[in-house]
């Protein structure tokens, strides 16, 4: 039986991947510091969960030894803002690099025939020049990460590639583009939620929102992304180890605002770079990801902005409160 271990299973990407795995009828084991907030979701009730720390070799070895895992989707990571990058660089490195290394060594010791899909990030490209088509390409674009997150994700890629070669492990790497959609929440691992989430929350509460700029990107709807992640993990034969995982089409925050305005009458928005109410972590727009390599393996039609808005608002109807930060206790 196919059984998939998802690290970071209670986070944004991990939750979306668990949903997609359960939808395919696959066995799922989640591994995270804390259980999912979304315990009422059908996918959360259909999976097993093990609490553990990515930095803890013994915990990683135990979850692999105790469960008949055939595949791993490694989604656990810290995605810091500038403040955390400044104050907690050691924690970011320990989770993103050493945690990945320890997972791979646990696989080598306990489940060497396991297939591992490492979820990396568009951030590894950083300040690199795009290719002739204006895209970040897996081969033509040389990574030049500019911040600690991208640096640690790239270090994890290189480390796991070497360990996969040494231990003959089937490793695949997917560099994820910018995401938004269901299961995004303030988990503590992602310091800035997507502008789409921030805008949708403002619209539902009757507030106006001010964008920093148009922000054009190959925004990737989380349910689409999760289906492609799972398909890539399950595909028996691939001709490459590294794949970009992007939305396949460019949209803007203006497109998102207009879709929400059509669904939420009275919603107002504007653009003012000097006084935005929407927080976004990049001062300039990034090139889109080239996806021809992935499309050759997994063909699919991207969801439209309007359909994504309808689906996301429906999801918020059920889970809005769980997407917000937990109240701190003293």
Q: What is the distance of C-alpha 167 from the center of its chain? A: 27
Residue tagged 């050759």 (tokens): 296
- Has residue 330 been placed in a domain? no
pLDDT at 190: 66
Verify that 214 and 155 share a domain, yes or no.
no
- Please tell me the distance from the alpha carbon of residue 67 to that of residue 48, in angstroms, as a whole number: 10
Verify that 135 and 275 share a domain, yes or no.
no
pLDDT at 324: 65
Where the chain has pLDDT below 50, the residues are 326-330
Structural domain including 202 reads 195-218+249-283+299-323
The token duo for 127 is 């300040």
pTM: 0.94
CA triple 260-262-266, angle to 5 deg = 85
The torsion defined by the Cα of 230, 73, 43 and 13, in degrees rounded to 10, comes to -90
Question: For the chain, what is the domain count?
Answer: 2
- Has residue 143 been placed in a domain? yes
In residues, how long is the chain? Answer: 330
- Has residue 329 been placed in a domain? no
Enumerate the H helices of the chain as residue ranges.
Answer: 12-23, 42-45, 57-66, 82-87, 89-93, 99-110, 148-167, 195-204, 222-234, 253-263, 292-297, 305-323
pLDDT at 226: 97
- Has residue 276 been placed in a domain? yes
Verify that 174 and 304 share a domain, yes or no.
no
- Has residue 173 been placed in a domain? yes
Verify that 155 and 212 share a domain, yes or no.
no
Verify that 47 and 160 share a domain, yes or no.
yes
Which candidate, 229, 98, 81, 104, places its Cα nearest to that of 155?
Answer: 98
Verify that 137 and 164 share a domain, yes or no.
yes
Q: Is 50 exposed, middle or buried (0-12, 13-18, 19+ CB in 10 A)?
A: middle
Verify that 80 and 18 share a domain, yes or no.
yes
CATH of the domain at 77: 3.40.50.720
Verify that 82 and 200 share a domain, yes or no.
no
Residues 6+ apart with CB under 8 A from 272: 210, 211, 212
The torsion defined by the Cα of 103, 49, 230 and 195, in degrees rounded to 10, comes to -90
pLDDT at 328: 36
- Has residue 288 been placed in a domain? no
Using alpha carbons, list the distances in angstroms from residue 161 to 96, 118, 155, 156, 171: 15, 10, 10, 8, 7
What one-character DSSP code corresponds to residue 297?
A: H
Verify that 229 and 316 share a domain, yes or no.
no
Verify that 161 and 224 share a domain, yes or no.
yes
Verify that 7 and 125 share a domain, yes or no.
yes
Verify that 149 and 213 share a domain, yes or no.
no
- Has residue 239 been placed in a domain? yes
- Has residue 275 been placed in a domain? yes
């Amino acid at each position: 039986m196919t059984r998939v271990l998802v690290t970071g299973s209670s986070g944004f990407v991990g939750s979306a991947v668990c949903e997609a795995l359960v939808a395919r009828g696959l066995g799922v084991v989640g591994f995270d510091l804390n259980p999912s907030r979304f315990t009422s979701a059908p996918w959360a009730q259909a999976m097993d969960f093990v609490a553990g720390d990515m930095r803890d070799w013994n915990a990683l070895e135990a979850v692999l030894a105790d469960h008949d895992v055939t595949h791993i989707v490694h989604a656990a990571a810290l995605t810091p803002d500038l403040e955390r990058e400044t104050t907690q660089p050691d924690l970011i490195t320990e989770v993103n690099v050493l945690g990945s290394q320890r997972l791979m060594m646990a696989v080598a010791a306990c489940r060497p025939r396991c297939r591992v899909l490492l979820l990396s990030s568009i951030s590894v490209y950083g300040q690199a020049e795009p290719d002739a088509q204006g895209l970040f390409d897996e081969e033509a674009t040389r990574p030049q990460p500019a911040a600690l997150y991208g640096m640690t994700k790239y270090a994890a890629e290189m480390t796991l590639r070497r360990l996969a070669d040494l231990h003959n492990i089937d490793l695949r790497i997917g560099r994820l583009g910018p995401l938004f959609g269901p299961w995004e929440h303030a988990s503590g691992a992602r310091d800035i939620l997507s502008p789409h989430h921030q805008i949708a929350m403002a619209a539902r509460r009757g507030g106006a929102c001010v964008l920093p700029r148009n922000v054009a990107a190959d925004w990737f709807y989380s349910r689409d992304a999760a289906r492609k992640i799972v398909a890539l993990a399950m595909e028996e034969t691939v001709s490459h180890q590294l794949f970009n995982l992007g939305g396949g089409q460019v949209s803007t925050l203006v497109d998102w605002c207009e879709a929400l305005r059509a669904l939420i009458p009275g919603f107002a928005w504007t653009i003012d770079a000097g006084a935005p109410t929407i927080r976004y972590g990049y001062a300039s727009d990034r090139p889109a990801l080239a996806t021809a390599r992935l499309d050759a393996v997994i063909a699919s039609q991207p969801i439209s902005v309007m359909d994504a808005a309808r689906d996301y608002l429906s999801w918020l109807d059920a889970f809005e409160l769980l997407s917000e930060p937990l109240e701190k206790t003293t």
